[in-house]
Amino acid sequence: MNTKNISLPEKAQVVIVGGGIIGCSVAYHLTKLGYTDVVVLERAQLTSGTTWHAAGLIVSGLLSDETSADIFTYGRDLYSRLEQETGLATGFKSVGYLQVACNEERLEEMRRSAAFMRTRNIDCQEVSVEKAKELWPKAKFDDVIAAFYTPEDGRANPVDLTMSLARGAKMGGAKIIEGVSVTGVKQCAGKVTGVTTELGDIDATYVVNCAGMWARQFGELAGVSLPLQAAEHYYLITDDMDGMHRDLPVLEDPDSYAYYREEVGSLMIGLFEPVAKAWNLQHIPENFIFGELEPDWERMAPFLEAAYERVPAARELGIRKFFCGPESFTPDLSPLVGETSELQNFFVACGLNSLGILSAGGIGRLLAKWIVDGRPDLDVTALNVNRFHPCQRNPKYLDDRLVEVLGKMYESHYPNLGMSSARNVKQSVLHERLVAAGAFFVESAGWELADWFAPEGEKAEVERYSWGRQNWFKYQEAEHHACRNDVTLMDMSFMAKFLVQGNDAEKVLNNICCNDIAVEPGRIVYTQWVNENGGLEADLTVTRLTKDTFMVICSDTTHGHVKMWMDRNIAKNAHAFVTDVTSSYSQINLHGPKARSLMEDLTHADVSNESFPYLSAKEIDIDYARVIAIRVTYVGELGWELYIPTEHALQVYDRIVAAGKVYDLKHAGLQALNSLRLEKGYRDYGHDIDNMDTPLEAGLGFAVKLDKADGFIGQKALAKQKAEGTLGGRLLQFKLNDSKPLLHHAELIYRNGEFCGYMRAGAYGFTLGASVGLGFVESQPLISSDEVQNDSWEIEIAGNKYPAQASLRPLFDPKMERIKC
């Protein structure tokens, strides 16, 4: 492209790098919010990366969270009206979307998801097999037991849609400049200041990385870690086929890893094969413009054969095109969105996992609001770019993980189903001990976590994933009861740990914490962090070790966000320093009625209730180790968290196991932890509560000190909410009356016969004798404690409603007698 006539502005409020549908959507939405000084830089032509070859499906899939549903519905609705605004056609048409279920487990998942989706303005309805045949006469439905149809979903033309968004952005004042390569990112004192291009520099307050499958490489120019990788992605187009017409619904058969739609009188078959292949692992070529790859017929033949089974007539047709084009995918199949932790005001919107067209409208709106307002207006815990660790961008990791991520999009999303590739990235030093004890591991944030333990003589293998009771259910029950009746050992070394030290440590932490952390050394404080709007940013503990040393402890999944929040909110001139000590300490939790007796055998320290009360901390001896012992619980039982210098961890573990035999010590995993904490009503940030909740709505007002003399971030917003009573609802604990059904997540809640919310998390409460969970109930005016107790409650699971009990107080040990003994 001739660059002689291209003129670059010297500065802009926002520079967006990448002229695909995501970049154009971000620009469009920024102008809608009043940011008119916006520049989009595209190195070649708009849509020339991966947008141009997308299939253009605007279909909802199976959704069970508000954020995904709201992103989808916003985009679908925007595309339906965009042509009227810009004068450019988008090709969007609501042809409908048909999904098939071929087994009971798939049917269970679809019924669960469809019920939730209907509450979010997605009219996904179960239809008969006969109706499915009417909608798609050319398909074979002999093995189908049910189908789900969403009439408003459809398809669009990706190029037309992008051009329409681009015109809308230009109508709002944005400049879109093609043929300009960005060669660097300017920064000063940890904040982005602009970009460098082959034609000169542009100063900017914000830079947005929308570079698609090049986003990882562009991020590296800024020192930013972005774990995403391009993979081969396929669809096939047959010769003309009778019965194919423009109004035919999009058909999806997840068990065949395939989707089907009409393409100019032909049939398109798209594939999400369960064994995928990375493309150009080290470096994506800059000159790959409107490019396509040579298809690997031999590798793809088995997947094509399976896909043909749904539409057998396609076998008899010639193949007009077998297309292979790269798409970028992330390790957990969620997008990368938000401000990066490494560089302030450097935002990203990439890693859309081949769903860029249907997500572009909603992602563009979300990121624009984030930039303009300084915070997102949706729950972003699952897609925030800071959720990953730097090692997860390594080529080895991405290559290994990419093998399975495409297929995971179409596999059943069982509650505990994780990834099987790129495993053993991070291991506790106790890992081999846990293997010997019968641990079955799951992965989270790169860590290997003991999920449950098989008893001696049985293998820790998953026999069958299910929405019902799985093979480890009885093992979880035994671990749960051991914690309630005896004592359990949990390896929690994956928890993130930070030391905050310095003369100003108390001051800076008290400015961040809702609770008052100006306590005596040796005390632990449970607290939340909120933003200026009062929305939750973290839920964690702060332990004061000495006058000027504090330990902040949070979950593995919030590691990056907690570190980033401290970096952003501790003044540079403050005498306070944050050190990540996660790897320095192993963590073993001992909980249960016999925990004190066991501790008395382990240490010379006085662990009596008088000397070592609840919410206190001491450095104690165990064998040769000096251990930080904190008396706190996440399971609702007497117990301690032991923070052990890593070099002593094996020695201390062996001592605990040996001494614990007298007290029937049992290993316990995350499944037991979840059922125990839900019986007690303990919250889990990113699952039960998120950045769209306030501590008051989450039932955590007891940990908020609105009268702190020097205030804290978000204090005014929370004080106003409390004074005006403007809570959007309440987080309640629920227990089913029927002991058989299982609660997992996103089940609908009915109050006096009316839908009022959904379950945030659920598990089987073995002590209470039925499934328990936490659900958010919307109500105006705010529901009272009497109404909670006396109203009629039901929870819908896969189309069936079950009576339930609701409670504001924990259903298990509401007076905390077991904890404080």
The pLDDT tens digits for 556-569 are 999 999 999 999 99
CATH number of 743's domain:
2.40.30.110
- Name the nearest CA neighbour of 699 among 645, 760, 658: 760
d(CA 242, CA 44): 39
As a whole number of angstroms, the distance between CA 808 and CA 681 comes to: 9
In a domain, 689, yes or no: no
Asked if the structure places residue 615 within a domain, the reply is: yes
Domain boundary among 358, 388, 418: 388
Nearest Cα neighbor of 241 from 224, 257, 260, 223 is: 260
Cis peptide before 781 (omega within 30 of 0): yes
Structure tokens at 216: 């990882």
Which pLDDT score, from 0 to 100, does residue 364 have? 98
Structure-block tokens of residue 101? 């279920």
At residue 526, what is the residue type?
Answer: Y
Domain boundary among 617, 632, 662: 662
Same domain flag for 28 and 167:
yes
Q: HSE on the CB side for 267, CA within 13 Å?
A: 25
Distance CA 467, CA 446 (A): 25
Q: Which two tokens stand for residue 288?
A: 């790959």
The answer to whether position 466 is within a domain reads no
> Dihedral of the CA atoms 685, 690, 691, 692 (nearest 10)?
-160
Phi, psi of 95 (to 5 degrees): -90, -10
The answer for residues whose C-beta is within 8 angstroms of residue 373's C-beta and 6 or more apart is none
Question: For residues 149 and 127, is the Cβ–Cβ distance under 8 A?
Answer: yes
Question: How confident is the model at residue 1, as a pLDDT?
Answer: 52
Please state, in angstroms and rounded to a whole number, the distance separating the CA atoms of residues 770 and 764: 6
User: Are residues 644 and 777 located together in one domain of the fold?
Assistant: no
Q: What local confidence, expressed as pLDDT, does residue 355 receive? A: 96
Beta bridge partner(s), residue 347: 208, 339
Q: Which residues contact 732 (CB under 8 A, 6 or more apart)?
A: 774, 775, 776, 777, 788, 806, 807, 808
Report which residue type is found at 209: N
**pLDDT confidence of residue 2:** 55
From 662, 687, 707, give the residue that closes a domain.
662
The DSSP result for 104-162, as a single string, is HHHHHHHHHHHHHHHTTT---EEE-HHHHHHH-TTS--TT--EEEEETT-EE--HHHHH
Which runs of E-coded beta strand occur in 427-535? 439-444, 447-453, 488-491, 496-501, 523-530
Q: Give me the DSSP letters along 546-599.
A: ETTEEEEEE-GGGHHHHHHHHHHHS-TTSS-EEEE-GGGEEEEEEESTTHHHHH
d(CA 40, CA 813): 58
Q: 3-class DSSP state for residue 637?
A: coil
H or E element at residue 411: none
What is the number of helices (H) and of strands (E) in the chain?
Answer: 18, 37
- Spatial neighbors of 707 by CB under 8 A, at least 6 apart, are none
Q: 224-241 burial string, b = 16+ CB within 10 Å, else e? A: bbbbbbbbbbbbbbbeeb
Element (H, E) at 51: none
Q: Could you tell me if 82 and 214 lie in one domain? A: yes
pLDDT tens digits for 618-634?
A: 999 999 999 999 999 99
Co-location of 797 and 658 in the same domain: no
In a domain, 464, yes or no: no
The answer to whether 558 and 689 have CB atoms below 8 angstroms apart is no
Residue 298's SS3 state is helix
Please state, in angstroms and as integers, the Cα–Cα distance from residue 153 to each residue in 3, 115, 236, 249, 563, following that order. 41, 16, 22, 9, 40
- Domain containing 781: what range? 728-821
In this structure, is residue 175 part of a structural domain? yes
Q: C-alpha angle 577/582/583, rounded to 5°? A: 120
The upper half-sphere exposure of residue 365, i.e. CA atoms within 13 Å in the direction of its Cβ, equals: 17
Q: Which two tokens stand for residue 185?
A: 């990112």
Question: What is the per-residue pLDDT for 3?
Answer: 60
The CA-to-CA distance between both ends of the chain, in Å, stands at 76
Contact 215, 230 (CB under 8 A): no
**How many domains is the chain partitioned into structurally?**
3
Query: Of how many residues is the chain composed?
Result: 821
Do 625 and 741 lie in one domain? The reply is no
Burial class (CB in 10 A: 0-12, 13-18, 19+), 719: middle
**Whether 733 contacts 765, CB under 8 Å:** no
- The SS3 call for residue 394 is coil
* DSSP 3-state of 650: helix
CATH number at residue 27: 3.50.50.60
817 phi/psi in degrees, rounded to 5: -70, -35
Q: Do residue 635 and residue 743 come from a single domain?
A: no
Same domain? 653 vs 794:
no
**C-alpha distances in Å from residue 607, one per residue of 416, 614, 639, 651, 806:** 37, 11, 10, 21, 37
CB atoms within 10 A of CB 302: 11
In this structure, the number of other CB atoms found within 10 A of the CB of residue 50 comes to 25
Question: Tokens 């968290």 map to which residue?
Answer: 641
Largest CA distance in the chain: 83
- Model pTM score: 0.96
Whether residues 653 and 737 share a domain: the answer is no
Which segments of 208-355 does DSSP mark as H helices, in order? Answer: 215-221, 297-308
The domain that contains 631 carries what CATH number? 3.30.1360.120
Residues 29, 159, single domain; the answer is yes
Q: Are residues 76 and 188 in the same domain?
A: yes
Flag whether 572 is in a domain: no
Which residue stretches of the chain have pLDDT < 70?
A: 1-4, 463
Would 375 be classed as within a structural domain? yes
Can you list the positions of beta strands (E) in 379-487?
439-444, 447-453
Q: Could you tell me if residue 352 is inside a domain?
A: yes
244, containing H or E segment: none
Same domain for 775 and 648: no
Closest CA to 802 of 781, 776, 773, 782: 773
Burial grade of 508 (CB within 10 A; 0-12, 13-18, 19 or more) = buried
**What pLDDT is recorded for position 628?**
98
Residues 162 and 68 in one domain: yes
Please give the Cα distance from 664 to 298 (Å, whole number).
56
